[in-house]
Structure formats: structure tokens, C-alpha cells
Structure 1
């Protein structure tokens, strides 16, 4: 049966590859990469650099396909159906790649940014392909260093404080629900609209990072009221320069400011 490795490759630094990830890569015949267009070509380049570094002495193939466009204007009740449609379009591509590009006893791999278990669609898309029953395969998962772990490491802090919980959420959820009761450390991912601005008037610190682990890395930390304007300016400049941005941040609230 075909085997598929889902390999977490870290937040961008090639040195964040684990030994387990390298071992799985060295046992792979075909690597599947979804191309996100010219603006994000350096993401594909980083993957290829990792392959060149660790597989220089063995033969392998790289097969690229264009990532389907997602309706990012959908909100409210339309959000989940839009995500479902996008995942199904991805499943069509995965299904074709596995069936057409991988022999019945071959091994393929998807190189996933960060950790495949944290806000990534690869596992859900592969499960949809399996449920269709048109192509049989076994798959396993190699965990990776997430952008969340890399963020707090670069800021030399922890995710939580002693005996306290931490929550990981999205920018959209933060905007809808605010900072949760009883949770003073909140990690926010997938925030294209800088929703942290809503909490500038509170006693909150921010630990923010963009392009973490890459040569373009930007880090800002400090009281939110002071750091927010700088983050907005740096974020706008970086997006203009590169055409895209990936950022993550930790909001740390004073326990008395609820």
C-alpha cells in the first residue's frame, strides 16, 4: 500500500527539523508541494532548500500543484462552508497527486509548516481523500516545532505562568469573543486584521513575531499600548515588501485586569 508521511518542518528555520523529520524525508520517494503563487514563492524555495540540505545523496522527485483559491471574504455563518469547499478542492488535488504520481508501494510526503496538528488542514484533507475510497494509502504524522513554540522561544518567555492555563485561538475568534475569563495568556494565530488593537486600553503585554525562523524575522514585545503602533507599521511595511505575511502573537494580561 502507498505510504504518506505528513512531516512538520518547523516555523521556517531549516535547523528546526527534527531527527525524526529528516529520517522520514530520507525514506520518501515523492514530495508533494502546493504552490501558493509567485508572491509566496519563497515558501516553496525554503522547502526545496531543506530537501537539498538533507537529501543531496539520494534520488527523489518533487511534484508541485497549484493551491486552490479560498474565499476569504466569507464571514459569519458562511465561514465554515467556505472552508469546507476549499478543503474539498484541496482533497481533489491530493487525490490526483497520490493516485497519479505515487506507485502502489511508493512513499510520498507533504512538508507542513510548523506542526501538522495546529491550525493546518493537511490531516483533515487526507482524511477526506481516504473516506472517498478511490485511492488507498497509509499515513503517519511527524510532529514539528510550531510557530507558537518558536515565538515564545525567540522572546525568551513561556506560554503560560505557574499553574495558569493558556488558550490558542484565531484572530476571528478573538474579535468575536474577546479575552476569555480565567485565561490571561492567549496565543492568536491567523489574524490578518490586527485584532489586538481592541485591547490597547487594558493592562496587556504582547509578544509578536512575523516570518519566525526565517531571515525576514521581525520581533516586537512590550506593553500593548506602546507596541501596537510599531507592530502595525512594521507589519504594513513587511507585507508591502514581500506581498504576504505570517505572524503570531501572545497576549499576556495582568491577572487583575479582567
Structure 2
């Protein structure tokens, strides 16, 4: 492809799309939409709805493809992810080859922002020859979380850490800050954290119609979050959630 635009689309709310993103989607030749199977069909449908709402250029084509699944049999986590990204890059190339891709300006719709805990840039770097890459920033789930709870991300003059559920489970509370934002956590890793004087602010589907929020002392709120996640997953087939932990401000929630 000639140019690749990685377009941050926010957290699923079409109103989160920036004017820059709208102009880009109407200027490209192809918009790629990945499909992740029946259990996550909503994710593709939301991308379709966004395109239907903001793409007005009849020359912009919407092309869908099936995203390969990650091989969970490989014991090494990083190797599993690297192999998966190789397969995704191959599928991108094959899909574009069937849609006049080698000469096309192509856009990929990326949840949140392509630069925050997202692998699209790493996958794009595998393409040969490598296209010119432009990143269109988007609203992140972290911004959506703080907005939903009407809280600042940091305490006064204090640092914060953004990490993942895996890092929290394997490495414990990161050194250097009392407030952490935890992303990509499908296993409720807050259960590995000491609950005394710890507050949690949690949200699922931030920015979407089914947005759900809970907050309070971790000891009381953690079990509620676990039960709520089960209900939401049963209802929708998938859950996207994020949370902030603070171990010094239990009286603020």
C-alpha cells in the first residue's frame, strides 16, 4: 500500500471521532474492518456504524477480513503474541492484494488511540515494503474512565503509572506511585492487591451505550466488579473494562 493511516476511533462512541479522523476516512481508498468471530461481532458492527455515520465519500471502500486467533498452546506469552502479529500482518497483506491494495491509501480503525497499549503500529512495521504510516490520535478508554467518574487521573503533584493486568499479577504494585491505571486485564488482577486503604474506580464499555461503572473501597467493590463482569459478559459475549487503583485515598470514592 502507498499510505497507511491508523485512525483512533475512541471507545466505540461515534461522537468521539475527531474531525481529523473523519477527514482521513473520507480521503482514503480503503478502510479495513477486522472481524473477531461471533463472540465479538459487536466490535466489527461498531466499526461499521462509525463508517456509516462519518464516511460520505462514495469512493471510500469498506473491506472486511477475519482476524486470526492467537495460538494459546505456545507456552511463552511474548512468543505467542509475536507469532500472532506475524499472522495478522500476513492477513492484512493478503486482504489488500485482493482489493488493489498495493497502490491504495488504507485506513485501519483502532480502538482508543493507536499509541497506547495497542499493537497496530508493531504489526504495521512487519509489512514489506513498509508503507508511509500516519497516526490519527483518538480518545482512550483511560480518558473515558476518568470522565465517567469525574476524577483527575493524577493526585495533586503526584505521578501515576499505566500498566496491564498481567504486569500487576506478575510484578505486584509498580514502584513510584500510589495511583495506577490498569488496562488489558481479563482476569480481575485487582484481587492480587492488598485491599486496605485502596480505592478502585472501574468502568466497562466506557463511552458506549452499555457503559457500566463502579467505584469505592476495593474490599467492598472488588467482589461487585467480579459479579458485574460475569453478567455483562453473558449479556454481550465480551467485556472491555479498565480501572484505576489508589492505595491512599480510600475515602474519596
TM-score range, shorter chain: over 0.9
Q: Distance in 1 between matches of 2:215 and 2:249?
A: 19
Cα distance in 2 for partners of 1:9, 1:204 equals 32
What is the count of residue pairs matched by the alignment?
Answer: 250
Query: Structure 1: how far apart are the matches of 2:103 and 2:79?
Result: 35
- Is 2:26–2:57's contact at 8 Å kept on the other side of the alignment? no
> Does the 8 A contact of 2:114 with 2:137 survive in 1?
yes
Is structure 2 residue 199 aligned with structure 1 residue 205?
yes
The match for 1:113 is 111
Q: Which of structure 1's runs of 4+ aligned residues deviate more than 6 A?
A: none
Compared with structure 1, are the counterparts of its residues 88 and 52 closer, same or farther at alpha carbon in structure 2 (3 Å cutoff)?
same
Question: Which range is displaced more, 100-109 or 157-166?
Answer: 100-109
Structure 1 position 91, deviation (Å): 0.9
The whole-number CA distance in structure 1 between the counterparts of 2:9 and 2:47 is 9
CA contact (8 A) 2:165 2:186 kept: yes
> TM-score with structure 1 length normalisation?
0.91
Normalising to structure 2: TM-score of the pair?
A: 0.93
Give 2:54's aligned residue: 54
- The alignment's C-alpha RMSD in Å is 1.8
Equivalence map 1:1-258=2 (5 Å):
2-56=2-56, 58-72=58-72, 78-130=76-128, 133=129, 137-254=131-248
Unaligned stretches of 5+ residues in structure 1: none
- Contact kept, 8 Å, 1:102 with 1:108, in 2: the verdict is no
Once the two structures are TM-superposed, the CA of residue 108 in structure 1 deviates from its matched residue by: 1.1
CA deviation digits over 1:157-193, x for unaligned, max 9?
1111122111111111001111123211111111111
